[in-house]
Amino acid sequence: MARLNPVARRALKRKAFRKPIADYLARVVEWDHSALKPVKDLVRIFLRLEQDEICPYCQRLIIPERRNMTEHIEHYLDKSHAEYRKFGFTATNLVLACIGCNMTKTTRDLVVDGKAKPIHLTIAEAPFRWPHPYFDDITESLHKAPGPVYSAIPGSLRQAETEQMITDLKLDTLENAESHHGRLLAEQNRLWEEVNALMKQMTPENMAKLEPLHARLQRISRELN
């Protein structure tokens, strides 16, 4: 995945979202408050298109959780840290991450030890502990071979940061690979169930629903192979 564009700004700048975002920043409401759902839903749409449904960390297809069918909005600098709450709705701090990377990263502080906490989240604050999705081109420092097998590209600008990310996220472990493979198979089975149900009644409406399902199945097949 190449360096991301901060497309979430298109959602965050909307007049309708100014108050709920301001309330969050002022600690009037928390992240899971219903008032923030519309802005988060729109951010997801923009990020899904920008990322092409790929996790910016492991570079694998994002598999939505069955229980809510939405991707995790991941904060590069985690919002649970008091000094990073101000970046809760900063476009360059928001990505969609797969459940594996999101849960393994948890609240890890990605500012380099001993470095001052950033006042503004800009490229001037780089480097961080890991490559930054908006400030670094991960494809220039991360090699993902079939398996997948991960390695940092020797001599790349962010080689050390990429090695740290691979270690922190346990991307080079069999457990990680098997967990992602299992989630892919589960989604594949669920999608085939939907396809089979729709094909029992070949109405124009059901035909229209089949196209995106088949496209997703093709992506999953490529990822599995």
Rounded Cα distance, 73 and 41, in Å = 10
Q: Reply yes or no on whether the pLDDT at 78 is more than 70.
A: yes
- What pLDDT score does 70 carry? 58
b/e per residue 38-71 (b: at least 16 CB within 10 A): ebbebbbebbbebbebbbbbbbbbbbbeeeeeeb
- What pLDDT score does 24 carry? 97
Range 28-55 average pLDDT: 95
Instruction: Give, as one character, the DSSP assignment of residue 7.
Output: T
Cβ(1)–Cβ(136) below 8 Å: no
Q: What are 94-146's pLDDT values in tens digits?
A: 999 988 898 889 999 999 999 999 999 999 999 999 999 999 999 999 998 87
Range 44-59 average pLDDT: 93
- What pLDDT score does 113 carry? 93
Rounded Cα distance, 63 and 220, in Å = 9
- What pLDDT score does 146 carry? 76
Q: Reply yes or no on whether the pLDDT at 188 is more than 90.
A: no
Q: Reply yes or no on whether the pLDDT at 174 is more than 70.
A: no
Cβ(91)–Cβ(6) below 8 Å: yes
Cβ(7)–Cβ(50) below 8 Å: yes
Q: What are the distances in angstroms from CA 138 to CA 121, 130, 161, 166? A: 18, 10, 10, 12
Cβ(149)–Cβ(115) below 8 Å: no
Question: For residue 78, which of 28, 14, 31, 26 has the smallest C-alpha distance?
Answer: 31
More confident residue, 174 or 201: 201
Question: For residue 73, which of 59, 84, 62 has the smallest C-alpha distance?
Answer: 62
Cis amide bond preceding 204, omega within 30: no
Q: How many CA atoms lie within 13 A of 73 on its CB side?
A: 23
Range 145-161 average pLDDT: 91
| Summary mean pLDDT of the chain | 89
